[in-house]
Amino acid sequence: MHHRFRHHWQHFRPLRRRHGLRGYRQRQIRFRDTRQDQQHLLAPEPVQYICRSTDFFDCAEEQVVARLQRRPEVHALDRYIDKLQKQFQQTNDPSDGLVALLAQAPRAVLAQQQMDQFPHGYRNKQERLFELIDFNDTLVATILNLDDEHRRQFADRVKQAADRICKRVGAPCFSEEQWTSIIRGLTREVAVYLAAKDSGFHAFMTDRAQDALGIDLQVQDPEDRRYINIDVKTPSSFRRRMEQLVHEGRLTERELMEGDKQSYIIEYNGHGAQRVPVVVLCILPDLFGDLADWRFVNHAPMRDKLNQLIREHGLSNHKFGHYI
């Protein structure tokens, strides 16, 4: 080799040859320890989203909008809904609940419109029904985890945020009539639940399978362990339900008149082993008083009614708090 290049080529020789074994060991590359990486893959840690806003409602909306940066479409949100619902179930954090609720808003609007447009049946009816039930269940669970101040603001602020998200993805918004109907019905459902808990009963908010059977909640006497399934109705929806049952031949005219007097009827839903009695309870202001901030102002009348219903119609089949 030419003497000019003899020393030059030493730069390209392996470290072991240039510096001996000792130099090679000192200069060898330290490889990354992947054990910690594998541990993070097996047990990922949730990372808290940092909002620019300090407002509770604005922060939840901001988290949903952040997921729409690349694809502002309804189906883009659908991919996140299951994950958001599971996160809320694990944390019971109302902020997680509100994010899950707002993410479901566009598809819930579409499901509600389809139900209103085709009340006697339509394609994928059960799927659309479950989407609406999931939205309502998330709303109720969020309300139950909120403090009184945020409960007072909830209906108006969530409607505004849901409208903005629906517009972002090109979906229709809840009409004022639809939203008012949802809030009126769920307000009474939450009020019955809280009245039962405050009166010393065991109360259980049902899942989507029981909801599809017309069961909003179950209330149990802690002493004799008997319980009732309850479907909570506003006066107008209670009347419509009774007339529908009469039309279907599942309720007589005499039972309808008795239901008007006592503000409830017993309805049997499901088939075979899943056939269950449900107390369809009408929340009459004259009977149960006024509501404020998702509660009865005085829960004593509801306490007395629950005692009567369990005494006369209570079940003891050990299915309280379980899937029907």
Q: pLDDT digits over 275-295, tens only?
A: 899 999 999 999 999 999 999
What percent of the residues of the chain are helix, what percent strand, and what percent coil, each to the nearest 5?
Answer: 60, 10, 30
Quick one: pLDDT at residue 128?
A: 84
* Confidence band, pLDDT 50/70/90 cuts, at residue 33: low
Quick one: pLDDT at residue 42?
A: 56
Query: Rounded CA gap, 222 and 198, in Å?
Result: 13
Quick: pLDDT tens for 204-254.
998 776 777 889 999 999 999 999 999 999 999 999 999 999 999 999 999
Indicate left, alpha or beta for 292 from its phi (over 0: left) and psi (-120 to 50: alpha): beta
Over range 65-84, report the average pLDDT.
Answer: 84
The domain ranges of the chain are 3-39, 200-324
For the chain, percent of residues with pLDDT exceeding 70: 81
Quick one: pLDDT at residue 12?
A: 53
Q: Which helix (H) or strand (E) holds 30?
A: none
Quick one: pLDDT at residue 38?
A: 61
Quick one: pLDDT at residue 164?
A: 94
Quick one: pLDDT at residue 274?
A: 78
Distance set, CA 125 to CA 10, 116, 122, 272 (Å): 77, 12, 5, 22
Q: Which helix (H) or strand (E) holds 73?
A: none
Least confident of 9-23, 30-44, 117-131: 9-23
Select the more confidently predicted residue: 24 or 134: 134
Answer yes or no: is pLDDT of 297 > 90: yes
Query: Rounded CA gap, 38 and 70, in Å?
Result: 29
Over range 248-273, report the average pLDDT.
Answer: 92
Angle between helices 176-198 and 125-144 (to 10 degrees): 50
Indicate left, alpha or beta for 170 from its phi (over 0: left) and psi (-120 to 50: alpha): left
Quick one: pLDDT at residue 47?
A: 46
What DSSP state is assigned to residue 10? G
Answer yes or no: is pLDDT of 323 > 70: no
| Sequence letter at residue 10 | Q
Quick: pLDDT tens for 145-198.
999 999 999 999 999 999 999 999 989 999 999 999 999 999 999 999 999 999
